[in-house]
Structures are given as C-alpha cells and as structure tokens.
Amino acid sequence: MSVLRAALSVALILLAAPGHAHHSAAIYESDKLLTLTGKVREFQWTNPHCWIQVTVAGGAGNEEWSVEMGAPLQLYQAGWKPATLKPGDEVTVVVRPARDGSHGGLFISATGKDGATLGRKP
Amino acid sequence: MNARGALAAVFAVSMLATCGASAQPKQADRVAAFARLPNWTGFWIAESRDDLGLSGRPPPGAPQNRGVIRGDAAPYTKEWAAKVEQQRKNNTGTAKECGFPFPFVMENPWVFQFLLTPEETVLLWGGREVRHVYTDGRRHPKPDELWPTPWGDSVGHWEGQTLVVDTIAVQPSRFPPSLSEQAHFTERLRMVGNDRFEDELTIEDPLAFTKPWTITIPYERVTDLDRMVHGLCDENDRNPVVDGKLTIAPAQH
C-alpha cells in the first residue's frame, strides 16, 4: 500500500458512535424521563425503527408525540406484535425526551389502560 | 457382437460400476462430514449487546458503545492512535449505518445465526450482514481476483469442534477498530457451554498496530426468538440529518 493510499484509508475511517439501527441516540436526553399519557394515533411497525404516535392533551389542545422504538426484531423478541397497539388505545409511555424540545422521545416502557406493561419486558 | 463390441460393452459396464462405486462413497462421506459438524443452531447475540430492550439502545446511563471490538486497548502505532483520536473529536454523531462491516459485525447489536455445511459455514445477522467461511479446502483468491469488501474473504478449517477462520481483503471502515487494508484476521469460533459461544479474534495490521491484537468476544444464546426477523435501512427513516443534526420527522399519516 502506498503512503497516499494509506493516508486515504485513514481519512475514510470516521469513528462514529454507532448506536443500534442506523443512528445514535444523542438526540435524546440521556438522564431525563418524561411520562406521556394519551391515545394511540398510529403504531408504525417499520424498519429501521418502530414508532408510536401518541395524542396527548396539552395546554393549547392536543399534541402529537413521536415515540421512537427499536427495530421490529427487538420488539418481536420482547413479545410485541404489529397489533399490540391500535389507534384509539389508551397508553402511558415513558420516554427519554428529545433534546431540542420537539414532541419526540425514545421509548423506555409502556403500560396499557389496565396498567399492565406491554410486551414481555420493558 | 464382435470382439471390439464385446470389449466396448465390458468397458462400459466397468465404467458404470466404477462411477456407481465412487458416487456412493462420496455421498456417504458428505453425510459423515455433516455428522462431524458441531450443533450451533439457534440464535446468538454478543453479551455486550444483550440489554438493548425495546428502544434498541442501551438503558439510560449506560455507555452507548460497549464491547472489546471498540479497540480501546488496541496496540495502535503512535501515528495511527493520533489519527484515531482526531477522528473521534471530529465525530458529529450524525452518521448512519446500513450494514455493519467485519470485524465490528462480530460484536454488533443484531441477533445472528450459523448455517453449517461441510463446504462452508455461513453467519447471518438480523441486519442482513452475511459472512461466508469456506471450509472446502480452498485458499484465498489470487491477488488479481481479490478486492477489499466490507466482510473480506474468509476461508476456514475445523480443528475438532473449533472453526478456525482466516480473513483478508477487508475494507477499512468508520467502525472500530481502526484498521488498514493490510489487516489480517484469524478467528477461533467455538461453543464454550450449552448457551455460550466465543470468538477468539487476532488482528495483525502492519500499518495500524505495533503487534498482533487478540480479543475474545463472548456470545450468549437468544431464547426469546422463534424466527429471524430482518431489518431494513430506509423503509421508514424518520431521523433525517438537517443542518448537520439528527432530527425527528413528523409521521406521514
């Protein structure tokens, strides 16, 4: 390998912080938790991430929150299925809120209307 | 039938007998070879990645990047270490991945499984990464038939129940450890209990390292999965990079 080629190889090596499923979790608060209680508007069983859209009653009316989860593989492992949440379901979700103050969060745990934890493990 | 015809008939019969005799043992040999393979069925995950949970991320407070493959203890040369440090400082945290390359794939967050045949062992991850380890006695391709790829070229052989793998031609990537195209990898893959597995990985890199670096990556059996569920990169990517920052895109109802 020539010196130039070696230098190019080094330049191409960007030691990012690879979180799981395609990007890091740096956009979410690392040590703050927020509890959202509302109704499911949509449950997106998709790659690279699943999302729960939750409508929460706010001061100025209803707010829609986007809750990011892992990939379908991780959810399925934990006992979740595409029909675990349906539009209109009452749900309480604990999240790590987005650092930028937007209505987004990273999923920590969820309970249904009866207070039972959804899935086999949080 | 004249004498020539009789001779041809005898030859044909003898050829059939010979072919039949050689085909049968070959099949039997292959069946026997299958029987000698270890039982690595099931799903596995690196021990450092077993707590990701429903967020797909480590729990709050836990470090994002764990595991020995990160290369924190790698014997980098002074010059290479300086470059690695600078690249860490330049990291914006906005990079996305679409498939983990070797060797990082050996300690990545996806569940994986083995498919064993006498001719090759295949490693398959939930992220759809694939490694083919040929065990049919072949060598690496000739230099003019070989080019760097994210997973390199792997050939292996069995030492009892241990698969010894030799890998070259791995493309340098942004995933740790930081290596050059000249890196050479030797692995010893084996079960170390009913539900535990390990990969003893030695990396030699004349450009990046001062000496060979050997690590052992432990794995544990995944018991809560009944089939492989694969990931995709861009089916519903709602984290676009805007103005150099990862963001959350609203749902498209």
> Is 0.90 topped by the overall pTM?
no
Chain A residues within an 8 Å CB radius of B65 = 17-18
Helix (H, G, I), strand (E, B) or coil at B205: coil
Chain B residues within an 8 Å CB radius of A71 = 56, 126, 229, 231
Q: Please report the pLDDT score of residue B18 as a whole number.
A: 43
- Rounded Cα distance between B170 and B188, Å, is 18
Lowest pLDDT segment from A2-6, A53-57, B92-96: A2-6
Chain centroid to CA B184: how far? 14
pLDDT in tens, chain B (253 residues): 455 555 455 444 444 444 444 454 589 999 999 999 999 999 999 998 887 878 888 776 676 667 889 888 999 999 999 999 998 888 887 877 788 999 999 999 899 999 999 999 999 999 999 999 999 999 999 999 999 999 999 999 999 999 999 999 999 999 999 999 999 999 999 999 999 999 999 999 999 999 999 999 999 999 999 999 999 888 899 998 888 888 999 998 8
Q: Are B109 and A32 in contact (CB under 8 A)?
A: no
Candidates B182, B237, B246; nearest CB to A1: B182
Q: Please report the pLDDT score of residue B25 as a whole number.
A: 57
- Rounded Cα distance between B28 and B34, Å, is 10
- Rounded Cα distance between B6 and B12, Å, is 10
Handedness of CA A85, A90, A92, A93 (dihedral sign): positive
Task: Name the range with the highest mean pLDDT among A13-22, A23-32, A59-68, B29-38.
Answer: B29-38
Q: Please report the pLDDT score of residue B65 as a whole number.
A: 64
Q: Please report the pLDDT score of residue A81 as a whole number.
A: 95
Q: Do A70 and B104 touch (CB under 8 A)?
A: no
Q: Please report the pLDDT score of residue A121 as a whole number.
A: 53
**Alpha helix (H) ranges present in chain B?**
3-36, 78-90
B67: phi > 0 → left, psi -120 to 50 → alpha, else beta; which? left
- Percent of chain A at pLDDT exceeding 90: 69
Chain B residues within an 8 Å CB radius of A17 = 64-65, 91, 93
Candidates B49, B180, B231; nearest CB to A47: B231
Q: Least CA distance to A79: which residue of chain B?
A: B224
Q: Are A17 and B89 in contact (CB under 8 A)?
A: no
Chain A residues within an 8 Å CB radius of B64 = 17, 19, 24-25
| CB pairs < 8 Å spanning A and B | 196
Q: Do B54 and A68 touch (CB under 8 A)?
A: no
Tell me, yes or no, if B206 comes closer than 8 A to chain A by beta carbon: no
- Rounded Cα distance between B124 and B183, Å, is 23
Among B57, B104, B232, B234, the residue to mutate for chain A (most A Cβ within 10 A): B57
- Percent of chain A at pLDDT exceeding 70: 79
